[in-house]
Amino acid sequence: MDKIRVHGGHPLSGSIKVSGSKNSSLPILAATLLTREPCVVHGVPDLSDTHYMLQILMHLGAQVERASGTVSVTAEKVHSVAPYDIVRKMRASVCVLGPSLGRCKEATVALPGGCVIGDRPIDLHLKGFEALGAAVRVEGGDIKVFAPKLKGAVINMQGKFGPTVLGTDNIMMAAVLADGVTVIEGPAQEPEVVDLANFLNEMGAKIEGAGTRRIVIEGVPALHGAEHWVIPDRIEAGTFLVAGAMAGEGVTVKRVEPEHVRAVTDALARCGYAVDIGDDSITILPNGEATAQDLVTEPYPGFPTDMQAQMCALLSTSRGTSSVTENIFPRRYMHVAELKRLGAKLRLEGATAVIDGVDRLLGAPVMASDLRASAALVLAGLKADGTTEVSRVYHIDRGYEHLDEKLMELGAHIERVKET
């Protein structure tokens, strides 16, 4: 296993290009199962999560070719059983359920299990499949869904913690080939859901309202191949903007959709940073110390849970006392104990982290636990005096395309070393 060694105190400057969105690529790659014709997807980031998705597609019988960021998939003959030994590596594998059910009228996917950010139920996905006429069985650790025929239905995607992103994706992908009209009430409105809907429409689906509170899907007999560019990764963009805020002398992220990052740029502006927004770039300028603020994570367009850990790192060195409340994954605070090892002062009160800003952080060995917490620890290391070693960086490699190399391009003194 690798670890990343960060030597703090070196200012960042310059610009980086944002990669294609991981959370768009995964469902879009799964959607290629819905047609026997070739699909070409551009801008797929080079990550372990996208590699796992390609492994699943090949296991299901699709032909897959990858040339740097372009992936070609032809799912001419596919079966619909995704085994545990692949699914356990990435819980987002659950998003092959919808297209497999839509194409094959049956699907078996190992139950993904939970992860460090919390129990990851899929009850809303299964409720949606049943509404479309599928029978759902959970046995032997597998989810089995089957439906001789899928019929359009009205489905509500709201759960205790708001809408479900992959659940909305799954129901859309099952409904596009159903008989009749499906209405999804209260769907997730994330840009990645809109990107998937756009890809499905390019394949011949009839989906309206993606990104709004109501999606209407008119079933069609079949879908054809399509070519698509994945949207920029808004969480990667946000992560680099926070890096620029914490340790930058002027950092620009390029090839970004500013509207997708608005909740983050608004939060950084509230911290007192000058944020210069262009058509497809955003520049953040230093302002000394951030001012404290109270932050709440919400479904899009609210502040994203995937940026919560990064903001905890930033607010740890702000002036005053801040609070961060996690409404999507209330246990998503694995980074708190590690940030405290760097001298940050945080305490948890239920799903709220109360952060007393400190003047300086001191480098120390810390351990990555989940994708975004790991990135937050690297950002804290950029700001800390001395050296911070982040172990188990395979978490970072799941969701960030060459994070350390991109930070090096901005002037960070950072190296990847083999964990002895």
9, 11, 83, 121: which one binds ligand EPZ (CB under 6 A): 121
55, 106, 133, 161: which one binds ligand EPZ (CB under 6 A): 161
* 328 near ligand EPZ (CB under 6 A): yes
Alpha-carbon distances of 321 from 264, 266, 318, 335, 355, rounded to whole Å: 19, 19, 8, 18, 6
* 302 near ligand EPZ (CB under 6 A): no
* 305 near ligand EPZ (CB under 6 A): yes
Count residues contacting ligand EPZ (CB under 6 A)?
A: 25
303, 329, 333, 400: which one binds ligand EPZ (CB under 6 A): 329
State the sign of the Cα–Cα–Cα–Cα dihedral 383, 294, 268, 235.
Answer: positive
Q: For residues 94 and 174, what is the distance between their CA atoms, to the nearest angstrom?
A: 13
Q: Is 115 a residue of the active site? A: yes
Stretch binding ligand EPZ (CB under 6 A), from 162-170, 174-182, 254-262, 287-295: 162-170
Contact 402, 47 (CB under 8 A): no
Alpha-carbon distances of 267 from 302, 308, 314, rounded to whole Å: 11, 11, 11
Residues 67-106 that bind ligand EPZ (CB under 6 A): 92
Q: For residues 86 and 55, what is the distance between their CA atoms, to the nearest angstrom?
A: 8
* 120 near ligand EPZ (CB under 6 A): yes
Catalytic pick among 39, 104, 115, 271: 115
Alpha-carbon distances of 193 from 210, 250, 326, 353, 354, rounded to whole Å: 7, 32, 21, 29, 32
75, 97, 107, 122: which one binds ligand EPZ (CB under 6 A): 122
102, 167, 343, 357: which one binds ligand EPZ (CB under 6 A): 167
223, 399, 401, 412: which one binds ligand EPZ (CB under 6 A): 399
Please say which residue, 375 or 384, places its beta carbon nearer to ligand EPZ. 375
* 371 near ligand EPZ (CB under 6 A): yes
Coil, helix or strand for 173? helix
Going by C-alpha positions, the residue among 185, 104, 199, 197 that lies closest to residue 147 is 104
Stretch binding ligand EPZ (CB under 6 A), from 117-125, 131-139, 171-179, 257-265: 117-125
Q: For residues 144 and 142, what is the distance between their CA atoms, to the nearest angstrom?
A: 6
Closest approach, Cβ 14 to ligand EPZ, in A, equals 26
65, 123, 179, 419: which one binds ligand EPZ (CB under 6 A): 123
**Is residue 382 within a helix (H) or strand (E), and if so which, with residue range?**
helix 371-383
**Is residue 90 within a helix (H) or strand (E), and if so which, with residue range?**
none
Residues in contact with 85: Cβ distance below 8 Å, sequence separation at least 6, in sequence order: none
Contact 307, 372 (CB under 8 A): yes
Which residues are designated catalytic? 115
Q: List interacting residues with ligand EPZ (CB under 6 A).
A: 23, 26, 92, 120-125, 159-161, 164-167, 188, 192, 305-306, 328-329, 371-372, 399
